[in-house]
Amino acid sequence: MSRKNWLPLTVSTILFALLAGGPSAQLTKPIGKLDPVKWTLVVEPAKTVTGGHLLGRLTATIEEGWRLYAPTTPAGGPIPTKLEIVDNEAVASWTAYQTEPETKFDPNFNLESQSYSGKTTFLFNIELDRKIQAGVFHIESTARYNACNDRLCLPPVKRSANAIFQIVTETTAATPIIIPADYSEIKPSEITNASEDSSLNKSTASSQQEGFLGFAAVAFGFGILAVFTPCVFPMIPITLSYFIATGSGSQSQSLRQAATFCVGVIVFFTGIGATVSAVLGPFGISQMGSNPWVNLFIALVFMTFGASLLGAFEITVPSSALTFLNRVSNRGDMLGTLVMGLVFALSSFACIGPFMGTLLAGSIKGNLTWPVLGMMIFSMGLVLPFFFLTLFPVYLSRLPKSGNWLIHTKVTIGFLILAISVKYLSNVDQLYQWFLLTRERVLAIWIVLLAMAGLYLLGTLRIAGNKASPVGYTRLAFGILILVLAISLIPGMIGNKLGELEVYIPPPEYSHLREYTSREPSDTNRWIKNDYNRALQLARQENKAVLVSFTGYTCTNCHWMKINMFTKPELAKVLDTLILVELYTDGIDEVSQANQSMQLERFQTVAIPYYVIIGSDDNILAEFPGRTRDVKEFHEFLNAGRS
């Protein structure tokens, strides 16, 4: 492949990263009720003797489309149902039984799960205390369970059911309890050790999986892209020569050397991801995205890397550390090759750092494993060419020579990294509501940075220290493409929509010019902001339902829904029948904290976006977590609130 073909790959991958969406809590089925399972308890016989036995029938009636998971559900999947008889003076011991659950693939957890649907009955063989006197007694059973449908898992809840029985003083023997043959005993460990490792605030597990797949694709793409930077690309022939030399001409030995080298690189970067997870913790990972200080830190890191890539200064690892590791790596054995991988990772940090920073910043939108897996996948993409070319050395001679194209790639990435940093600075501004980095100012900065990148590729703009070089056809084409992208942002400064880019820039109402430029003022002005009581009062006055949008200043999917879904013409009629209110939950003020507390207490989640239709009597009619592109299904959800 000629060197001209590497530049489009580089630029297009970076642009894809800028446009790619983050993880979303998508759900396309509205929720009518928060508890789709009803429990009843019946004990037989109604009268028994001291020391006798009771047969308890605990029946779960499950709404259509929902399921709960069997007590014997294997670990690593959904939460098993936990059944208990509450301690009682009349009860000496008890044993629980279940029928054979349905085993099938569960899309929420991507594994085979054991579940029940429709109606199912669990049995208890309850032995009564021999010392208890005659009388009427109350017995209570509890079930802690996780109800799911094909798109959603509700937070685990604990419900109880009650029954009454009587102990009499008759001298006749107690009636024996017979457990049907199709029931099997639930072992005590299966009853008491139900997994608690569930994310209570996820709107759906499947959406996390979908979000991670996109994140993983970007991570791997970044790894491949990082190969074509000035710190990495020239190392390919040098490193492969080392493998061949230490392998004494043996292909298998060279492959072992290459594999060991790759392991060293992967261990280094995975360790960085594990450190981030350990520092932030399981809850910090998901909540850091709306923290202004975290956003400011990320912006400063990106600005530092961007300036470095543009040649302002060079980020280096202390020479003493590299000297020590180089001595160890020169041993020629497997340990030396492993350390050589660490040396390579450290020495290439100046060019790889911006990609790492972007991935780690994106990983805080996921869960605890995202930083670790993200860096592992990134490093696998980074070392793939090394291993491939060791396996097929004939292709080594076809690699393009190092030259000016590497410098052009580096500088172009620098401009784009600076553009990304502005997005995080804008997050800080929106969280504090300063109105400094408004919509038009963010777009203006982006336009300038993209224009500079385009002019640089066209040879019009020169960077200090870079020598002039001929502009080839590919470089010319991508320079023009970036300039066209810059020009296409201009309409957004005067109130026009920018489609998918809307999720990365402040909304139209976050603008000093909004009163003069908005082409659809009613779309913005009819949303009541952070005042649920006022919205409910209007709903009662006008006999309408309330559409509550739990949203966030930094929530990209929230911005997308408001710009691209709520403005659909086919939704206009049904939206006119609702009172619209936005409750921001990620701000730093007391109002945002109160909104988040309300969402958590009433809906057992803090995921955003989260849409709820509430009647004028303050009763919940329907819920819709997350983003969707399906207008029809969102229209059906909105229809649930029409009065």
Specify the higher pLDDT residue, 156 or 560: 560
Residue 391 has pLDDT above 90, yes or no: no
Mean pLDDT of 585-597: 81
The helix (H) or strand (E) run that includes residue 92 is strand 91-99
Cα–Cα dist 638/341, whole Å: 55
Q: At 4, is the pLDDT very low, low, confident or very high (cuts 50, 70, 90)?
A: very low
Report, in angstroms and rounded to the nearest whole number, the Rg of the chain calculated over CA atoms.
Answer: 31
pLDDT at 482: 92
Specify the higher pLDDT residue, 329 or 187: 187
Residue 232 has pLDDT above 90, yes or no: no
List of residues 6+ apart from 322 with CB closer than 8 A: 343, 346, 347
Contact between residue 222 and residue 355 where contact means Cβ atoms under 8 Å apart? yes
pLDDT at 642: 63
Q: pLDDT per residue over 422-460, tens digit each?
A: 988 988 888 888 888 888 899 999 999 999 999 998 988
Mean pLDDT of 274-283: 57
pLDDT mean across residues, the chain: 75
Residue 574 has pLDDT above 80, yes or no: yes
Q: At 110, is the pLDDT very low, low, confident or very high (cuts 50, 70, 90)?
A: low
For the chain, what percent of residues have pLDDT higher than 90? Answer: 16
Q: At 480, is the pLDDT very low, low, confident or very high (cuts 50, 70, 90)?
A: very high
Residue 196 has pLDDT above 50, yes or no: no
Mean pLDDT of 403-425: 81
Residue 415 has pLDDT above 70, yes or no: yes
pLDDT at 330: 53
pLDDT at 533: 92
Sheet holding 135-145, edge to edge: 47-49, 157-168, 135-145, 82-85
Q: Which of 26-35, 334-343, 473-482 has the highest mean pLDDT?
A: 473-482
Q: What are phi and psi of 267, to 5 degrees?
A: -60, -40
pLDDT at 202: 39
Structure tokens at 484: 């066209």
Cα–Cα dist 339/165, whole Å: 72
Q: At 193, is the pLDDT very low, low, confident or very high (cuts 50, 70, 90)?
A: very low
Mean pLDDT of 166-180: 77
pLDDT at 98: 94
pLDDT at 372: 79
Structure tokens at 614: 């509430």
Q: At 159, is the pLDDT very low, low, confident or very high (cuts 50, 70, 90)?
A: confident
Residue 354 has pLDDT above 50, yes or no: yes
Q: At 395, is the pLDDT very low, low, confident or very high (cuts 50, 70, 90)?
A: low
Mean pLDDT of 262-268: 81
Q: pLDDT per residue over 516-550, tens digit each?
A: 444 444 455 589 999 999 999 999 999 999 999 99
Mean pLDDT of 500-524: 63
Residue 8 has pLDDT above 50, yes or no: no
**Which stretch of 151-155, 281-285, 475-479 has the lowest confidence by average pLDDT?**
281-285
Q: pLDDT per residue over 66-79, tens digit each?
A: 888 898 877 656 77
pLDDT at 368: 60
Q: pLDDT per residue over 123-134, tens digit each?
A: 999 988 888 888
Beta strand 578-584 pairing with 528-529 = parallel
pLDDT at 30: 37
Q: What are phi and psi of 547, to 5 degrees?
A: -100, 110
Structure tokens at 560: 């997308």
Q: Which domains are delineated in the chain?
A: 37-192 (2.60.40.1250), 216-399 (no CATH), 403-506 (no CATH), 521-639 (3.40.30.10)
* Helices 205-227 + 349-363 axis angle, to 10: 170
pLDDT at 545: 92
> Residues 619, 622, 627, 632: is their CA dihedral positive or negative?
negative
Q: pLDDT per residue over 613-633, tens digit each?
A: 998 888 888 888 877 888 888
List of residues 6+ apart from 29 with CB closer than 8 A: 149, 150, 151, 152, 633
Contact between residue 26 and residue 628 where contact means Cβ atoms under 8 Å apart? yes
Residue 588 has pLDDT above 90, yes or no: no
Residue 58 has pLDDT above 60, yes or no: yes
Which residues pair with residue 159 across a beta bridge? 143
Cα–Cα dist 470/472, whole Å: 6
**Which stretch of 174-183, 428-437, 511-520 has the lowest confidence by average pLDDT?**
511-520
Q: What are phi and psi of 106, to 5 degrees?
A: -110, 115
Q: At 12, is the pLDDT very low, low, confident or very high (cuts 50, 70, 90)?
A: very low
Whether residue 609 has a cis bond before it, omega within 30° of 0? yes
* Listed residue (155, 147, 157) closest to 115, CA to CA: 147
